[in-house]
Structure 1
Amino acid sequence: MTTESAALLVLAVLFLALAFAVAGRSGPRWPERTLFFAGMLCLFRANPPQALTDPNWTLVQTENLLWRGSFDLNDTLQLAVNPETGVRLEPFGRPRQLRELHGRVLFGYPPGASLLSIPFVAVANVLGLRICPAPRMHGYDIELLLQRHIAAVVTAATALTLCLIAATRLPRRWSLSLALALSLSSPLWSVLATGVWSDTWGVLLMALTVLALIRWETAGRPGSAAGMGALLSGMFIAKPTYIVHAGLVMLYLLIVWPWRRRLLLCLWVGLWAAAFVAWSLQTWGHWLPEYYLMGSQFDWTRIPRQLVYLLVSPSRGLLVFMPILIWIGAVALRRRHDLRPTRLAQLAWLNIAAMLVITANWPHWEGGWTFGPRLLSSLVPWFALLATLAIEARERDGPPLALHRIRRETALIWCALALGVFIHARGAHSAAVSCWNQRLGMGPEADQALMDWRRPQWLAGLRGEPPPEDPPRLLAGQRVMLGDDSARPHLGEGWGHSEGHYRWTLARRCVFAFRSVASSAEAAASPELIADHLVGLRADASGLDVNGDGHVSSADLVLAQNAEPIVVRELVLCGAAWTQPGQVDSQRLLVRINGEVAGATEIGQTPWGEILVPLLPCELTPGVNSVVLEFPRATPTRRFDRWSDDARALGLALEWIALR
């Protein structure tokens, strides 16, 4: 943790403590709310930089709107078409956030976050911070800085809005406690405060909508149709799935509001919808942007299975990442007949159920490279509403609880809250958690990895993970090409995804597992297995041509394995070490085989090539063997560079690995 982050965390604790102290006194409410907002702002701003995925390029569009008044980013980037490929975006690696359409470069994600961030980017530009100061330049470090500041302000405002929701029905300290609990044990802290996601702004709009609803119900009179129309339309412009919430809230208002207010609401929503369609036709040539047409990927047959994943997945499950919801749900269900106003409680339940079903119907239910149930972030304001109504009902109508029940329930609440805060603190600050997605969060085995209780994302880096259960066999001298997908069954914790012909080590401990051929007799009995293994892993047969006939046969492999038991004496790697001049001049590699220290070496700033590590003679077991590579000096780049978002603890970039 950097000095800046530590100082911000201390300030956050101080401000929040003062907020609770002030809340215990009578008088105006604004002092504790101001302190609460300041504390949450410091806490969210203390998050270390994290790599921008979906939010990347969001503020480039904002700056383009300020300076060019256009959604066409080519006016700012001024990219020429590559005559060989016909692509404009090659200088920037053809980012997936951008789209080429009829000679224009467009931001492919919803425009809401970019539009709502205009005031912040305008102030930054006045202060001299430009993301694209010149053509063909994308100041990623500046965008990362602005995204962190904007996200911290917006999520702190969301936390304050949750406090205001609770304050409509609950005492002052109760409202602060509930807002603090939901803010720190939800994706607000671990995900939405790290960058300007569509949900970062969408959840704030959702919270403001819920606040308006409960205030109007408390006051007994309808509110502004223009304001509600802007909130409902803004949610859809921020993210298309929010149309579920907007539609249910609008239906609710059309039922409970007087007919004149209904007409005004329909008029305002219709005007916003017409403006959005007109913009889409002009920009995208279709009545809806490309991102809003992804509903065709829905498949209702997925719902039962993925609904279970959404609720109890160890790496994405809502109840796992927000255990406080178990208590909130239990109290709300127990007091379901006492919740007032009843229709508002029913609206909350409908919104929660509808969003769960819609998300479970989505093929990318896990939300991609993220932490926890990000796609369900919009439910946090509804949880705040349900908790507020349930706690009020219990305090108002419930009989006094026995002392032992109070103590038991208090202990359970604190345990659930502590677990939720611990989980999301790791999501916000742990480098190992950020790197977890690179190994397990993508690919055909993603669903299995996300349901694997042996290696949950929020525990990444805290404990050693079990090695692969059934790794392929490995012969002496055989090279495993780490850049190939066929190498994945060998790889345990600590490895990154393939980057072409090589793969990075991402942690201080990396596990490589294999099965050895127990004897020459076993090798002779399975020549087809050996042949398939050689083809699948592209094993390098050099040095195994024992007979000298120019090719490697099963007999050669049998002769190569004629020692019983098998003993390895060398580890050979091909690659290079990650170094940082003046900080990390070399990497120290410690090798353990089956738990025993087998060798060590120092790898300096050498060019790409073979790295030979002499080993103490090690006998392999007939079953699964593990080679653990330990890098004591592996350190994330962001420890040395305050502008860096690289959370990977890099050690070596490796092309292949072999044992002799």
Structure 2
Amino acid sequence: MYQQRSEANRFFTAVSIAVLLLLSVLVFLLSWHGLIYGAGSDPRYTLIVSQSILDNGTIALDAYADDLIWGEPANFADNFNIIERNGRFYNYFPAGPSVLSVPFVAVANWAGWDMLTAADNINAQRLLSSLSLVVLLWLMAGIARSFLPWKPALVITVVFLFGSTLISTMGVALWSINFSVLAIAAALLLLVRRETGQSQTIHPVWLGLLLFIAYFSRAAAAAFILPLFVYLAYRLKQPGKSAKSLIYSPHGRELVATAVTAGTFLFLFLLWSRWEFGSWLPIYYSTVRLQVARDSVWLSLLGVLFSSGRGLFVYVPTAGLLLFAMRWLWRQPLAWLCFGWIALHLLVLVRGTAWWGGDAFGPRILTELMLALFLLTLLAWRQIRRESPQIRTAFAAAYLFLGLFGIWLHSYQGLFNYSTALWNAVAGHEPVPPYTPPLGDLFSWQYPQFAASNAMLCQMAEARTRQIVATGPVLRPYTFNEPIMFDPETAVTLRNIPPPHSSPAALIGWAPLDNDRARHRELFCEEAAVLFQLEDVPPGEYALQIRSAAFGQQRVEVLLNGEFVGESTFVQQPGLVAETAVFPLNSSHFVPNQLNELQLKLLDATSFNYKDPSRMSLAIESITFTQR
């Protein structure tokens, strides 16, 4: 009996370590094999900067200005990810992740990987992001075990890691959030181990360094750092003690050492920024980002918390239980650290330019706050364990039910349902009246991102495109023998409504995301359409030419204004070279002085292969109606 109890009270048992190892493999594989990745967005240049540090001794990217980056000319001058300062080009996003990744990139370069190459860069990001989740798993388990026995500690850890934006954000790319979250989690581990008596010290030098790393990686970490210092100062409070005696107490010396360490690194960071950029802080840290046009604070707060596209309580349903747990939380000082952290983070976010965090799944921009909610859940459960069996059972059942839903949301929908990524391109983040709901698609419960499917997106895109064409004269008359191609400037989409009489055709069912494997836009709907306006149609013979590449073998049925005109089979060619199919027509197929519609039905269209994000597997180069 004594041996069993001693085993149960160990910080980690052999069984819990084995479970954590299995979970480490699982979270790594989920991230590594996820269909969705964001490596080409904000983190595109993170590891390139790391390579520049190794190659050129600088974070500036000038040395690569004439190189191919991800297979394309660098073109830094017109790149939204690049800023120019004093005649030099820099990555807009924080340098912290790049600096911290230098050892990894050094090994990758030694192994023959080049961060300028898309495949190597993506694989490197996926490897680091997958490893970051493994490290986070162990840090979170350590935090949880400081408060609870290992079984409930592991359950809460699994629910928050696999059932929140921690995995659906950190698992798809090497964001600055990855490094910030790891640093904050490590800092929290040091804090709670001291607070729960697992350690006699807070390890102030390490804590100060971790706080700086969090800020060096992501400016939003300041929302955690400031409340943490307030909390540490509050813990010094002792009735009848002078301020001087408190400062010289063991906890006071730790507070000072933490502040001095973090402050020293911050001071060096400011000096470096002044020398490198000519300003005390890089532009990413500037408050100018909070002073441009934005939605109202209350609308932003509503969106952040409750919208169908980004709402915290929608995408992290277990967070709602904390509202019912306030009776157990409000007297705990650590809970007030979390409350202050959450409030400050939300305050900065709702005053920013894009509270929705750009193209993302759910509340990506709140990912650091998952650690605050995680800590609050641990604090609540520590108290609930002392309540009646009925209360414990009810809370545990609700937590598990909502937690399983969250795991489905983030470990499947957020990693493997490619439609949730396409949703960002089809939907309108901002209202586009009259085509979207009054507050935009982020607030739409008709087309919620978390429930996105290919059928939903096709229906959504078709309805919006037809409505735009019907309500506005965006199409100009089509000229026979003119190739119809996907042109981002004249494409009729919710995000790009062209000027009147400027677009030759409206394309329905074309993928709105760039396809990095072929030169052309691919179809993502089983039925695609081309809407075009005609004036006079002289009598005579005509032909329809469809030039397209194929992924696999695809049978296409072609109809013009509802009349069958033919069927053709496209077969994948080496290098995805396009083939041309020709269908004979005559003037009776067209309707003069009206809107005409070409329909393409993919008869054998199947869902994408698990490792191939291609949808319906035709990449059309051009469609041309020729007059013979």
Common fold: TM-score over 0.5: yes
Aligned to 2:316: 322
Residue number among 98, 101, 104 corresponding to 2:82 in the alignment: 98
SS in 1 for 2:445: coil
Amino acid at match of 1:230: L
Amino acid at match of 2:338: A
Q: Which runs of 5+ in 1 are unaligned?
A: 1-20, 82-87, 133-137, 515-536, 547-569, 641-645
Q: CA deviation at 1:89?
A: 6.4
Residue number among 418, 424, 428 corresponding to 1:431 in the alignment: 418
Q: TM-score, normalized by length of structure 2?
A: 0.76
Task: After superposing the two structures, state which structure 1 stretch, 175-184 or 623-632, moved more.
Answer: 623-632
- Does the alignment pair 1:70 with 2:65? no
Q: CA deviation at 1:97?
A: 2.4
Aligned to 2:216: 237
SS in 2 for 1:63: helix
- Does the alignment pair 1:395 with 2:412? no
Q: Give the distance between the partners of 1:454 and 1:234, measured in 2 at CA.
A: 42
- Does the alignment pair 1:261 with 2:261? no
Aligned to 1:455: 447
CA contact (8 A) 2:526 2:602 kept: yes
Q: Give the distance between the partners of 1:41 and 1:627, measured in 2 at CA.
A: 43
CA separation of 1:512 and 1:198: change in aligned 2, threshold 3 A:
same
Aligned to 1:602: 569
SS in 2 for 1:401: helix
CA separation of 1:610 and 1:51: change in aligned 2, threshold 3 A:
farther
CA separation of 1:282 and 1:244: change in aligned 2, threshold 3 A:
same
Q: Give the distance between the partners of 1:68 and 1:366, measured in 2 at CA.
A: 36
- Residue by residue, what CA displacement relative to the aligned partner does 1:78-123 show, whole Å, maximum 9, x if unpaired? 6399xxxxxx964579543233333433222101111222232233
- Residue by residue, what CA displacement relative to the aligned partner does 1:365-396 show, whole Å, maximum 9, x if unpaired? 22222221110000111111100000110112
CA contact (8 A) 1:169 1:389 kept: yes
Correspondence list, 1:457-472, <5 A: 457-461=449-453, 463-464=455-456, 465-466=459-460, 467-468=462-463, 470-472=467-469
Amino acid at match of 2:277: W
Q: Which runs of 5+ in 2 are unaligned?
A: 1-7, 237-245, 248-252, 495-505
Amino acid at match of 2:256: L
Q: Give the distance between the partners of 1:292 and 1:630, measured in 2 at CA.
A: 49
Aligned to 1:563: none
SS in 2 for 1:315: coil
SS in 2 for 1:364: coil
Q: Give the distance between the partners of 1:596 and 1:22, measured in 2 at CA.
A: 76
CA contact (8 A) 1:577 1:587 kept: no
Amino acid at match of 1:460: A
CA separation of 1:256 and 1:573: change in aligned 2, threshold 3 A:
farther
Q: CA deviation at 1:324?
A: 2.0
CA separation of 1:610 and 1:656: change in aligned 2, threshold 3 A:
same
Aligned to 1:285: 278
Amino acid at match of 1:453: W
Q: Give the distance between the partners of 1:600 and 1:205, measured in 2 at CA.
A: 58
Q: Give the distance between the partners of 2:185 and 2:507, measured in 1 at CA.
A: 43
Aligned to 2:4: none
Correspondence list, 1:188-267, <5 A: 188-219=166-197, 222-257=201-236, 258-259=246-247, 260-267=253-260
Q: Give the distance between the partners of 2:84 and 2:418, measured in 1 at CA.
A: 34
Q: CA deviation at 1:599?
A: 6.4
How many equivalent pairs are there? 560
Residue number among 369, 388, 394 corresponding to 2:359 in the alignment: 369
CA contact (8 A) 1:151 1:193 kept: yes
SS in 2 for 1:436: helix
Amino acid at match of 1:158: L
Q: Give the distance between the partners of 2:166 and 2:119, measured in 1 at CA.
A: 23
SS in 2 for 1:202: helix
Amino acid at match of 2:272: W
Q: CA deviation at 1:36?
A: 3.6
Q: CA deviation at 1:192?
A: 0.9
Q: CA deviation at 1:31?
A: 4.4
SS in 2 for 1:191: helix
Task: After superposing the two structures, state which structure 1 stretch, 200-209 or 624-633, moved more.
Answer: 624-633
Aligned to 2:100: 116
Aligned to 2:550: 579
Amino acid at match of 1:577: S
- Residue by residue, what CA displacement relative to the aligned partner does 1:33-83 show, whole Å, maximum 9, x if unpaired? 4444344333333324624211112111112223433212334x26399xx
Correspondence list, 1:530-545, <5 A: 539-541=533-535, 543-544=536-537
Q: Give the distance between the partners of 1:223 and 1:415, measured in 2 at CA.
A: 36
Q: TM-score, normalized by length of structure 1?
A: 0.73
Q: Give the distance between the partners of 2:566 and 2:67, measured in 1 at CA.
A: 53
Correspondence list, 1:19-168, <5 A: 30-48=17-35, 50-52=37-39, 53-75=41-63, 77=64, 79=66, 90=74, 94-126=78-110, 128-131=111-114, 138-168=116-146
Q: CA deviation at 1:188?
A: 2.1
CA contact (8 A) 1:369 1:437 kept: yes
Q: Give the distance between the partners of 1:277 and 1:197, measured in 2 at CA.
A: 23
CA contact (8 A) 1:477 1:544 kept: no
CA contact (8 A) 1:506 1:650 kept: yes
Amino acid at match of 2:29: C
Q: CA deviation at 1:168?
A: 0.8
